[in-house]
Amino acid sequence: MTAQPITGRIQLPLLIVASVFLVGVMPLLNAYGLIEDFTLNLWGKYLCYGIMAISIDLLWGYTGLLCLGQALFFTLGGYMMGMHLMLMIGKLGQYKSNLPDFMVFLGHSKIPAFWQPFYSFPFALAMVFLVPALLAYVFGYLAFRSRIKGVYFSILTQALTYGAALLFFRNDLLMGGNNGFTDFRTLLGMDLRVASTQRILYICTALLMVSVVAGCKWLTHSRFGLIQRAIRDSENRVLFSGYATANFKLFIFVVSAMIAAFAGALYVPQVGIINPSEMTTEKSLEAVVWVALGGRGTLVGPVVGAISVNALKSWATRAYPDLWVLILGGSFVLVVMFMPKGIVGLPAQILTILSKISRKQQSIDSPPSISEPETIDP
Amino acid sequence: MSQKPFLLAAEGLSKSFDGFKAINDLNFYLDEGELRTVIGPNGAGKTTFLDLITGRTQPDEGSLMWDDGKHDLLRLNEYEIYRHGIGRKFQTPTVYNDHTVTENLILSLAGSRSIWHSLFGKITSTQRDRIAEILTTIKLAEHANRKAGALAHGQKQWLEIGMLLAQEARLLLVDEPAAGMTDEETYRTGELLLSLAGKHTIVVIEHDMTFVRQISQGRKVTVLHQGHVLCEGPVDRVQSDERVIEVYLGRKSKAA
């Protein structure tokens, strides 16, 4: 009981400190050479994953929709950005052609019409949002109108992701096939291979994450947030209270697809490659594990989960490459069994246990009173 | 045939589930302002009837007209029916366990149900007063900031009735409000429903005959049997009706 207010009170200052550190201090330390470029780049990648994890939690933790297709929206955002980056390579590619290398390799001589507008950065940026949003809208519209719920919804999102991955693996889609896009050179005239550009990208990612957390905090504390959680807990009651629950679910589904897509768009120039293996179901499932580990139904939990699991992964895949899957699965099982609130719920959980122990200690110290029900035999 | 405007008119309603006729050629007329009690043995089709009215299930045949035949309820879905002023309390109390009592009422307040409003709409002071008023009516004022999941069973039932009041429903469909309540709570629930009679049209489904006697007080009671109206009338007449004794009260008294 006492645990709740204490952890609640330190939350906001802690959030502000963390934001300042991520947005300001880390890039500053990097600029002065105290943090390696590699490390900052790695953190940029983690934060992109963290933003995707928040978008999963908006659906899963807050609305009760377990979406196993979030990696698809993330990757689609990445592909839209990737198309622009591919065109920006220009004649600097292997084949010294205006066409991206893979098109030359496939025997094309002209840039396909649907690639043309991607020369414009604003257009590419708009597509980063619009394409995933449109897909989420159409899919969500059909699923929610047909009242597809629970595990059926999860399976369908998984199937959608699988189908999309198969499609992107095909060369004739002209999206790079299984090699995807890589070998990027510039973004808005800046060389992507120098540290200062990467630092700017990192700062953008950190800023995006802070604004996504702040925006979602506002959203989940509005009446919309109340309705979201009401849908999660008792959708029938919400329906019989006059709310068109399908529209509310559709809205949050599209919003979270756009959040994931934006993260994907920032991910691609930092990692330097995008290919269909990023949108496979395993990736989506892994992201769900981040959320579960970090703390479902919170906004900070998914970020903490994404960072810690990926940091663990970076280390474990080097130290024990064969055991990584077991480590991931094992920690998932442990958290589900013993830490229902995830990592961020741990302080409150420990405080509750401590207060229970101290209460027991007290009852042992003090002589048994008559009113103690345990002392009376039935 | 009748010239009197009915608030709700069900005619020739039938609904079967896998060959079992839950509702069988049901005719049911409700006047505005009535407090009607519907009784009947288990499986008589009481809850299915509410499911039909609220759009949860579609009948195989028949008609369901609302507000003097102005609206065909069968063409509307759950939330559209709700927006016509039909509110429902479920048999098992259905409240938002993770929300506080006040938040439960906020979500039920009459008003816009749009996403835009849910994002940017503010709670007016009139609405806040209304919530305070309802909290007093349903005797949950001291529990306003407690999570609904932490309430006692009876209190949850009351909260759900409060949610119907917040909605300013014209018709309250109340499914077994006294289920799982102590005698004291049951009596107070009866008082509450009686105080609402007249202001709202109310249909109460109930098993507990003491409770039915308390709230019907000479008002019309409808007996359902095998999805059909067996008889209607004041509780004394209904209870002395031989058919009713045979199918319902007789069997029940033997069991008791």
Mean pLDDT in residue range A218-230: 93
CA distances from A339 to A229, A233, A292, A293, A325 (A): 21, 21, 10, 8, 20
Cβ atoms within 10 A of the Cβ of B112, count?
11
d(CA A163, CA A76) in angstroms, rounded, equals 13
Residue A292 confidence (pLDDT) above 70: yes
Other residues' Cβ atoms within 10 Å of the Cβ of residue A249 = 22
Q: Which residues of A fall within a CB distance of 8 Å from B87?
A: 240
> For residue A377, is pLDDT > 60?
no
What is the predicted pLDDT for the residue at B92?
85
| Cα A267 to Cα B64: distance, rounded to the nearest angstrom | 56
- Residue A58 scores a pLDDT above 70: yes
Q: Is it the case that residue B181 has pLDDT exceeding 90? A: no
Are A240 and B118 within 8 A, CB to CB?
A: no
Instruction: Residue A132: name the closest of A304, A1, A255 by CA.
Output: A255
Q: Are A41 and A275 in contact (CB under 8 A)?
A: no
With beta carbons under 8 A apart, name residues in chain A contacting B120: 222
pLDDT at A133: 96
The complex's ipTM? 0.84
In a domain, B2, yes or no: no
pLDDT band at A94 (very low <50, low <70, confident <90, very high): confident
Partners of A248 on chain B (C-beta within 8 Å) are 115, 118
Nearest residue of chain B to residue A224 (CA atoms): B118
Residues B78, B54: contact at Cβ < 8 Å? yes
Query: Mean pLDDT for chain A?
Result: 87
Residues 6+ apart with CB under 8 A from A71: A52, A161, A260, A278, A279, A280, A281, A283, A284, A287
Q: Is residue B39 part of a domain?
A: yes
Residue B124 lies in a domain: yes
pLDDT at B123: 86
Q: Which domain holds residue B246?
A: 8-255
Q: Which of A92-106, A132-146, A224-238 has the lowest mean pLDDT?
A: A92-106
The answer on pLDDT for A259 being more than 70 is yes
What mean pLDDT do residues B223-227 have? 88
Using one digit for the tens of pLDDT, what is the confidence trace for B60-89? Answer: 998 999 988 888 988 998 899 998 989 999
% of chain A with per-residue pLDDT over 70 = 94
Range from A57-61, B66-70, B122-126 that averages highest in pLDDT: A57-61
Q: What is the DSSP letter of B63?
A: E
pLDDT tens-place string over residues A267-284: 999 999 999 988 888 888
Neighbour count for residue B34 (Cβ, 10 Å): 19
pLDDT number for residue A365: 66
Phi/psi-derived region of residue A93, left when phi > 0, alpha when psi is between -120 and 50, beta in every other case: beta
User: Cβ atoms within 10 A of the Cβ of A271, count?
Assistant: 17
CB–CB contact A223 B99 (8 Å): no
pLDDT attached to residue B256: 38
Percent of chain A with pLDDT over 90: 47
Amino acid B105: pLDDT: 92
What CATH number does the domain containing B59 carry? 3.40.50.300
Q: What is the pLDDT of residue A125?
A: 95
Q: Give the number of other Cβ atoms within 10 Å of residue A358's Cβ.
A: 10
Of B79, B106, B120, the CB nearest to A226: B106
Q: What is the pLDDT of residues B165-174, one digit of tens each?
A: 898 888 999 9
Nearest chain B residue to A235, by CA = B96
CB contacts of A237 in chain B (<8 Å) are 90, 94-96
Q: If you ran DSSP here, which 8-state letter would residue A21 be given? A: I
Give the per-residue pLDDT at B40.
Answer: 84
According to the model, what pLDDT value does residue A31 have?
A: 83
Domain assignment present for residue B89? The answer is yes
Q: What average pLDDT does the segment A107-111 reach? A: 84
The answer to the question of residue B3 being in a domain is no
The tokens describing A234, both together, are 């008792």
* pLDDT tens sequence across A296-325: 989 999 999 999 999 998 888 888 888 888
Whether the pLDDT of residue B37 is over 60: the answer is yes
Top-confidence residue, B197 or A202: A202
CA A47 – CA B195 distance, rounded (Å):
58
The closest alpha carbon to A192, from A266, A260, A118, belongs to: A266
Q: For residue B223, is it within any domain?
A: yes
Query: Is there a domain that residue B142 lies in?
Result: yes
Closest-CA residue in chain B for A236? B94
Quote the tokens at residue B203. Answer: 């249909």
Q: What is the SS3 string spanning A268-300?
A: HHHHCEECHHHHCHHHHHHHHHHHHHHCCCCCH
Residue A92 or residue B82, greater confidence: B82
**Is residue A184 exposed (0-12), middle (13-18) or buried (19+ Cβ within 10 Å)?**
buried
Res A153: pLDDT: 93
Total number of domains in chain B: 1
- As a dihedral over the C-alpha atoms of residue A49, residue A247, residue B159, residue B7, rounded to 10 degrees, the angle is -170
Quick check: is B152 in a domain?
Answer: yes
Cβ neighbours of residue A274 closer than 8 Å, sequence gap 6 or more = A75, A78, A79, A82, A180, A181, A182, A264, A267, A268
Token reading at B110: 């009459």
The SS3 of residue B77 is coil
Q: Report the DSSP pairing between strands B8-17 and A186-187.
A: unpaired
The separation between the first and the last C-alpha atoms of chain B, rounded to the nearest angstrom, is 42
Q: What pLDDT does B250 receive? A: 54
